[in-house]
Amino acid sequence: MQEFMMIFRMAPAADFQPTPEQIQESIQQWQSWIGGIAAQGKFLSTNQLGFTGNTLHADGVITDGPYAEVKEIVGGYILVKAENLEAATELAQGCPILFMGGHVEIREIMQINL
Amino acid sequence: MESSTELIPHLFRTEFRKIVSVLSKLFGLAHIEVAEDIVSDTFMLAAETWGKKGLPDNPTAWLYTVAKNKTKDYLKRNQLFSEKISVEIKHTSTPFVELEIDLSTKNIADSQLQMMFAICSPVIPEEAQIGLALRILCGFGIDEISAAFLSNKETINKRLFRAKEALRVQKVSMAFPQASELENRLQAVLTTLYLLFNEGYYSASQHATLRKDLCIEALRLTVMLSENDTTNQPQVRALIALMCFHASRFEARQGTDGQILLYQEQDTALWDQALITTGEIYLNQSATGQKLSKYHLEAAIAYWHTRPQDSAEKWQNILQYYNLLLQIEYSPVAALNRTFALAKAVSTEKAIQEALKLKQDNHLYYALLGQLYSTVDHSAAIEYFERAIAKAKTENDRLVLLKRLEQLRVDSGA
């Protein structure tokens, strides 16, 4: 088994204010998708990222927000185990980000032997 | 008046563990066998004396006094012990004759908890921990332990002997863990108590009374942890809640001819409402602190199962708790239960789709697939139940599955 990271990206909708019910429903959808991966024994860990942040540039300038120059932001990630990239991509099916106008990037984790 | 033949086995269950724990702490855990011998001798003398002269006014106090005297005699008589072994005792520079054998309620409770931590030490394999806990902390006889494990006396004796040897060789001491170690050590104790409970609840043994005893003992020991300020952690209370909810179905799950009844076949009037209420109190009290343990999640799932009516809310909650539980700790059974909840909360089609991805190879997996297909594709359902039967490990499981297969064949007119 190899390890993979799935990175969730989407363009933030500044004017979208979800209701508490919508938030609740969204949490259930994410948890059920992650639960489906965990039920196959392939879940390692996951994190959601907040909407505020800073970006440090090479010239020492710090700008507000992670999305100063990009349209899309990384909303979170999940680490999983899978046989190969195809199997990992198969696990990404049904990811709630796909129904929110976003997409999933699936990347192999490099094993660095020191 | 109660006769001594009825009272002694009962007192052995309740007092053996207390005196053995106190004496082991006094002698050092390396001499646990000396402690066991003294207490066994005490009970032998009780059987003899009470049989002839009748019961004393306070049988428990009688046992304590005799055990104390036997301990003092042992220490005085045993030269080797006084020279080589009782160094620990000598540290306190008390001559043995004046040695206080502290059988106060507080020392009894503390000694038993310290014994619990010692037994659940990682130097002993898990199965041996459960055996030793049953012997030392629950006063079970070797017969009963071998029946619980479906094993023989010789194997159990060997296992307990090796476990005690490990305690001695690894110099495990009877003490509360340091604050920095508490989390890990408590985790080990809870795992053993959880396994002890499951041994009783799910064991293949047909001995219903014995199985119930194992569960009651596991619950009692967990409650003891909640009665001490240091060990009364949120996850301890969550585990108590979990045990109460499961135990509430004891009477209902046993059919008239001894077979295990499935959840949906049970007479809910037989569910123990008092235990359910107690479980709810502990579950509420467990909702403190930052850590969501697997016991919290399992207790929350078990709580929803104490409500017999199906509802969207019930199954959505159960599904969400299983989703979280599997992220904390994967287990094949939890994965199957989660998929069943998915069928109830979302749809059978969705559940079948995810069940096929699990790719397990055991009777529970094929039984789940059989169950899911039974409303959409009878021949597939029959095929899966046949595979489940072929994989069944116990006669009881086989019979339950056969019954469902027969029903399916009748329904489909095959």
Report residue B36's pLDDT band, with 50, 70 and 90 as the boundaries.
Answer: very high
Rounded to whole angstroms, the maximal C-alpha distance in chain A is 49
Cα–chain-centroid distance for residue B47? 30
pLDDT at B85: 58
**Total domains present in chain A:** 1
Q: What is the pLDDT of residues B255-288, one digit of tens each?
A: 776 667 778 788 888 899 999 999 999 999 999 9
B104 domain-assigned: no
- Dig out the tokens for B367 from the structure: 């039984």
Question: How high is the mean pLDDT of chain B?
Answer: 89
A17 domain-assigned: no
- Kindly state whether residues B268 and B323 are assigned to the same domain: no
pLDDT at B2: 63
A16 domain-assigned: no
| Other C-beta atoms lying within 10 Å of the C-beta of residue B2 | 9
B327–A35 CB contact, under 8 Å: yes
**Segments forming the whole domain that contains residue B340:** 309-357
B162 domain-assigned: no
pLDDT at A34: 98
Percent with pLDDT over 90 in chain B: 63
How far apart are the C-alpha atoms of B330 and B360, rounded to whole Å? 13
Report the predicted TM-score, pTM, of the whole model to 2 decimal places. Answer: 0.87
| Residues of chain B positioned with their CB less than 8 A from the CB of A32 | 319-320, 323, 342, 346
pLDDT at B355: 97
Q: What is the pLDDT of residues A6-44, one digit of tens each?
A: 999 998 777 778 899 999 999 999 999 999 999 999 999
pLDDT at B252: 86
Look-up of token digits 């349209």: A71
- Helix, strand, coil % in chain B, rounded to nearest 5: 75, 0, 25
Task: Give the residue from chain A lying closest to B346, CA to CA.
Answer: A32
B320–A46 CB contact, under 8 Å: no
How far apart are the C-alpha atoms of A70 and B67, rounded to whole Å? 79
Q: What is the pLDDT of residues B357-405, one digit of tens each?
A: 999 999 999 999 999 999 999 999 999 999 999 999 888 889 889 999 9
Helix (H) or strand (E) holding A2, with range, is strand A2-10
| Residues of chain B positioned with their CB less than 8 A from the CB of A35 | 319-320, 322-324, 326-327, 338
Q: Which residues pair with A79 in a beta bridge?
A: A5, A45
Burial profile B191-219: b = 16 or more Cβ within 10 angstroms, e = fewer: ebbbbbbbbbbebeeeeeebbbbbbbbbb
Q: Which own/partner pairs from B140-147 qualify as long-range (CB within 8 Å, at least 24 positions apart)? A: B140/B217, B144/B210, B144/B213, B147/B205, B147/B207, B147/B210
With contact defined as beta carbons under 8 Å apart, do B148 and B134 qualify? Answer: yes
Q: Which residues pair with A47 in a beta bridge?
A: A77
- Kindly state whether residues B319 and B304 are assigned to the same domain: no
Measure B218 CA to nearest chain A CA, in Å: 29
A90 domain-assigned: yes
Give the Å distances, CA to CA, from B61 to B44, B55, B65, B395. Answer: 16, 12, 6, 48
A32–B346 CB contact, under 8 Å: yes
B381 domain-assigned: yes
- Kindly state whether residues B350 and B369 are assigned to the same domain: no
Give the CATH number, domain containing residue A97: 3.30.70.1060
A39–B319 CB contact, under 8 Å: no
Which range (A66-75, B54-63, B101-110, B185-194) has the least confidence?
A66-75
**Segments forming the whole domain that contains residue A41:** 2-8+22-108
A14 domain-assigned: no
A103 domain-assigned: yes
ipTM, two decimals: 0.90
- Kindly state whether residues B287 and B244 are assigned to the same domain: yes
How far apart are the C-alpha atoms of A34 and B324, rounded to whole Å? 9
Per-residue pLDDT at B89 exceeds 70: no
Measure B318 CA to nearest chain A CA, in Å: 11
With contact defined as beta carbons under 8 Å apart, do B299 and B238 qualify? Answer: yes
What number is the average pLDDT over the span B89-107?
Answer: 68
How far apart are the C-alpha atoms of A106 and A2, rounded to whole Å? 12
Which residues 6+ apart lie within 8 Å of B327 measured at CB? A34, A35, A38, A43, A46
How far apart are the C-alpha atoms of B13 and A104, rounded to whole Å? 60
A54 domain-assigned: yes
B202 domain-assigned: no
Report residue A4's pLDDT band, with 50, 70 and 90 as the boundaries.
Answer: very high
* Closest Cβ–Cβ partner in A34, A40, A41 for B323: A34
Which residues 6+ apart lie within 8 Å of B354 measured at CB? A36, A39, B339, B342
* Closest Cβ–Cβ partner in A28, A34, A40 for B327: A34
Measure A80 CA to nearest chain B CA, in Å: 11
The DSSP string of A41-91 is T-EEEEEE--S--EEE-TTS-EEESTTSS-S-EEEEEEEEEESSHHHHHHH
B152 domain-assigned: no
Q: What is the pLDDT of residues B285-342, one digit of tens each?
A: 999 988 899 999 999 999 999 998 899 999 999 999 999 999 999 999 999 999 999 9
With contact defined as beta carbons under 8 Å apart, do A72 and A10 qualify? Answer: yes
Q: Which residues pair with A10 in a beta bridge?
A: A73
**Total domains present in chain B:** 3
Look-up of token digits 């898990």: B126
A13 domain-assigned: no
How far apart are the C-alpha atoms of A67 and B297, rounded to whole Å? 37
What number is the average pLDDT over the span B191-210?
Answer: 82
| Residues of chain B positioned with their CB less than 8 A from the CB of A40 | 335, 357-359
A41 domain-assigned: yes
How far apart are the C-alpha atoms of B73 and B29, rounded to whole Å? 19
- Kindly state whether residues B327 and B287 are assigned to the same domain: no
The type of residue at B238 is A
| Residues of chain A positioned with their CB less than 8 A from the CB of B323 | 31-32, 34-35, 38
* Closest Cβ–Cβ partner in A28, A34, A41 for B330: A41
| Residues of chain A positioned with their CB less than 8 A from the CB of B334 | 39
Q: Which residues of B touch A (CB under 8 A)?
A: 316, 319-320, 322-324, 326-327, 330, 332, 334-335, 338-339, 342, 346, 354, 357-359
Look-up of token digits 């959409």: B376
Measure A43 CA to nearest chain B CA, in Å: 7
- Kindly state whether residues B301 and B325 are assigned to the same domain: no
Instruction: Output the CA torsion sign for B391, B395, B396, B402.
Output: positive
| Residues of chain B positioned with their CB less than 8 A from the CB of A44 | none
Q: Please, what is the end-to-end C-alpha distance for chain A in angstroms? A: 21
What number is the average pLDDT over the span B174-188?
Answer: 90
Measure B335 CA to nearest chain A CA, in Å: 4
Per-residue pLDDT at B202 exceeds 90: no
| Residues of chain A positioned with their CB less than 8 A from the CB of B319 | 32, 35
- Kindly state whether residues B267 and B333 are assigned to the same domain: no
B378 domain-assigned: yes
